[in-house]
């Protein structure tokens, strides 16, 4: 690689002239990989990476072609990754680290698990504040290969410096709580947990402020009890835990963000969640849940500012409309995200229109995951007329649509939004589908998108719909 340096008129590189405290601050924001790369542009960075506080060992830094879900990685590549990590750790001279992250897919047969044990021990010796261990799942002939298991000594360590822990696709094994008693945030992703372990964790991790159980599995957890002394600010129960039926909040006044299956939210005391500002309800397919959202949710959560609702066709039935007199108003809602599955044209337009009328100060609307059936794409597409009126009182400024399909229903909905929301400033149409990963994160699938060109979609709207909004098609 050719070294490129920015030099001053005196011949020194730009970075060498910066104050030491500024360089230290810049280094604290970089991963060890990027800090090492900086040595190519400045002599003052030549050894700076050796004290970098962010040790991020991502397999794809070494082998960018390796992807989650692929077959087993060759022994040569596994050894190459392990050697890279070991070299960096042997050269690292920092007394402590802020972040220690392992993202790999190593096999027990290659003695890699012993290496991971040593890396975790190194992180604890360096008093890591954040520890992230991601064992990317590997499949062969449709079968999941073995997972890394945390050693017992890890859970027995007293680690008051460890504040944030993320474990993904690993086994807890016989896990005690000594190491995590001081955590302020815990994320378990695709991890098997027991009812006893969950109960003990909630009772003993008294400093916990953020708890995320994403895609976790348990055959025994039917109820979670969050004790009063636990001042959680964020709780995510995304996917998994299919036997969970109830979450009891003995306190709850501190909770600001909550993500859960839609059948759970109605069991909460509204007084305990009145400070909630962000809510994600997943997999809503029951009419009683929809009725609760329309008639009670805004009253129970008056401070709700951001709301994501995932709904399946049939949840909104035009012939069973909720009476307008029972609608409530989301007085503080600024951001709304709707994922709509298997809805008819009439259902979809009424569904979106209802939420627009219930959200008078809404600023941003996102729509995702349309899967229309029996649609004739790009054949005799015309603009149909619906009962929509230009509403000057609608404050909606931004609409983003993901997974757009160039079919009559999609076009009708967008035309309805453009004609109804006269104050709209930006409409972004993304042809790529997105998959929700939990915690407000979406994964874009570039391989799944409609075949219509951005220019063709833009031309259709310019021809058929009159609007001053900026149209962006991706």
Distance from C-alpha of 370 to C-alpha of 71, rounded to nearest angstrom: 31
The length of the chain in residues reads: 474
Concatenating the DSSP letter of every residue in 362-389 gives --EEEEE----SS--TTSS--PPP-S--
Q: What pLDDT shows up at residue 53?
A: 85
Among 237, 221, 149, residue whose Cα is nearest residue 187 = 237
Please state, in angstroms and as integers, the Cα–Cα distance from residue 23 to each residue in 20, 30, 34, following that order: 5, 11, 14
Please, which pLDDT band fits residue 58 given cuts at 50, 70 and 90? confident
Q: Nearest 5 degrees, angle CA 242-CA 243-CA 247?
A: 100
| Contact indicator for 216, 187 with CB cutoff of 8 Å | no
- pLDDT (tens digit, 9 = 90+) per residue, 131-152? 999 886 554 544 455 678 888 8
| Contact indicator for 431, 455 with CB cutoff of 8 Å | no
Distance from C-alpha of 280 to C-alpha of 345, rounded to nearest angstrom: 24
- pLDDT (tens digit, 9 = 90+) per residue, 196-239? 899 999 999 999 999 999 988 887 888 888 999 999 999 999 88
Phi/psi for 177 (5° steps) reads: -110, 5
Question: Average pLDDT, whole number, for the chain?
Answer: 78
| Contact indicator for 332, 368 with CB cutoff of 8 Å | no
Compute CA 6 distance to the chain's CA centroid, rounded to the nearest angstrom: 38
| Contact indicator for 267, 246 with CB cutoff of 8 Å | yes
Report the chain's C-alpha Rg in angstroms: 26
Q: What pLDDT shows up at residue 376?
A: 46
| Contact indicator for 370, 434 with CB cutoff of 8 Å | no
Q: Using CA atoms of 49, 55, 59, 63 in order, give the dihedral in degrees to the nearest 10.
A: -10
Bigger pLDDT: 337 vs 410: 337
Q: Is pLDDT above 50 for 17?
A: yes
Q: Is pLDDT above 80 for 183?
A: yes
| Contact indicator for 14, 7 with CB cutoff of 8 Å | yes
Distance from C-alpha of 147 to C-alpha of 242, rounded to nearest angstrom: 22
Please state, in angstroms and as integers, the Cα–Cα distance from residue 153 to each residue in 104, 176, 203, following that order: 21, 9, 21
Percent of the chain with pLDDT over 70: 73
Please state, in angstroms and as integers, the Cα–Cα distance from residue 12 to each residue in 3, 36, 42, following that order: 15, 19, 9
What is the H or E stretch that residue 114 is in?
helix 112-125
Instruction: Report the phi/psi class of residue 11: left, alpha or beta, with left for phi > 0 and alpha for psi in -120 to 50.
Output: left
Mean pLDDT of 161-189: 89
Bigger pLDDT: 402 vs 384: 402
- pLDDT (tens digit, 9 = 90+) per residue, 64-107? 665 554 556 677 877 888 888 888 888 888 888 999 999 887 66
Mean pLDDT of 5-23: 56
Distance from C-alpha of 388 to C-alpha of 418, rounded to nearest angstrom: 10
Distance from C-alpha of 183 to C-alpha of 1, rounded to nearest angstrom: 42
Distance from C-alpha of 260 to C-alpha of 177, rounded to nearest angstrom: 25
| Contact indicator for 306, 278 with CB cutoff of 8 Å | yes
What is the H or E stretch that residue 212 is in?
strand 210-214
Q: What pLDDT shows up at residue 72?
A: 60
Distance from C-alpha of 127 to C-alpha of 125, rounded to nearest angstrom: 5
What tokens does 243 get?
């036997």
Please state, in angstroms and as integers, the Cα–Cα distance from residue 49 to each residue in 23, 33, 238, 311, following that order: 11, 8, 37, 48
Please tell me what DSSP assigns to residue 116. Answer: H
- pLDDT (tens digit, 9 = 90+) per residue, 310-365? 876 655 554 455 556 678 899 999 999 998 777 766 777 788 888 888 999 999 99
């Amino acid at each position: 690689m050719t070294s490129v340096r920015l030099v001053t008129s005196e011949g020194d590189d730009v970075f060498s002239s910066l104050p030491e405290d500024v360089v230290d601050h810049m280094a604290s924001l970089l991963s060890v990989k990027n800090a090492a790369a900086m040595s190519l542009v400045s002599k003052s960075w030549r050894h700076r990476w050796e004290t970098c506080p962010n040790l991020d060992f991502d397999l794809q830094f070494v082998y960018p072609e390796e992807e989650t879900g692929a077959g087993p990685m060759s022994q040569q590549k596994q050894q190459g990754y392990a050697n890279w990590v070991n070299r960096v750790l042997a050269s690292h001279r920092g007394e402590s680290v802020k972040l220690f992250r392992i993202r790999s897919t190593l096999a027990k047969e290659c003695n890699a698990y012993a290496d991971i044990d040593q890396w975790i021990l190194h992180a604890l010796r360096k008093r890591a504040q954040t520890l992230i261990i991601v064992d990317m799942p590997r499949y062969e002939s449709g079968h999941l290969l073995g997972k890394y298991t945390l050693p017992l000594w890890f859970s027995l360590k007293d680690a008051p410096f460890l504040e944030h822990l993320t474990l993904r696709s690993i086994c807890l094994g016989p896990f005690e709580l000594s190491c995590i008693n001081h955590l302020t945030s815990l994320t378990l992703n695709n991890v098997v947990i027991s009812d006893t372990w969950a109960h003990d964790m909630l009772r003993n991790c008294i400093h916990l402020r953020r708890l995320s159980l994403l895609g976790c599995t348990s055959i025994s957890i039917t109820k979670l009890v969050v004790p009063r002394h636990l001042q959680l600010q964020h709780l995510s129960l995304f996917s998994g835990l299919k036997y969970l039926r109830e979450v009891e909040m003995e306190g709850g006044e501190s909770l600001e963000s909550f993500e859960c299956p839609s059948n759970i939210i109605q069991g909460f005391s509204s007084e305990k969640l009145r400070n909630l500002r962000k809510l994600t309800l997943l997999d809503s397919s029951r009419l009683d849940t929809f009725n609760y959202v329309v008639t009670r949710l805004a009253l129970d959560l008056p401070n709700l500012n951001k709301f994501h609702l995932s709904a399946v066709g049939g949840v909104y039935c035009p012939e069973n409309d909720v009476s307008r007199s029972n609608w409530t108003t989301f007085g503080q809602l600024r951001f709304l995200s709707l994922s709509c599955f298997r809805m008819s044209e009439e259902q979809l337009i009424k569904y979106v229109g209802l939420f627009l009328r219930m959200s008078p100060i809404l600023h941003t609307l996102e729509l995702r995951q349309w899967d229309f059936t029996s649609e004739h794409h790009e054949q005799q597409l015309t603009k149909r007329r619906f009962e929509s009126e230009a509403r000057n009182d609608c404050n909606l400024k931004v609409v983003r649509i993901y997974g757009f399909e160039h079919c009559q229903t999609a076009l009708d909905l967008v035309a309805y939004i453009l004609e109804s929301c006269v104050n709209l400033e930006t409409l972004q149409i993304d042809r790529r589908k997105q998959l929700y990963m939990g915690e407000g994160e979406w994964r874009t699938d570039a391989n799944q998108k409609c075949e219509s060109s951005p220019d063709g979609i833009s031309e259709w709207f310019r021809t058929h719909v009159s609007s001053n909004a900026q149209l962006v098609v991706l």
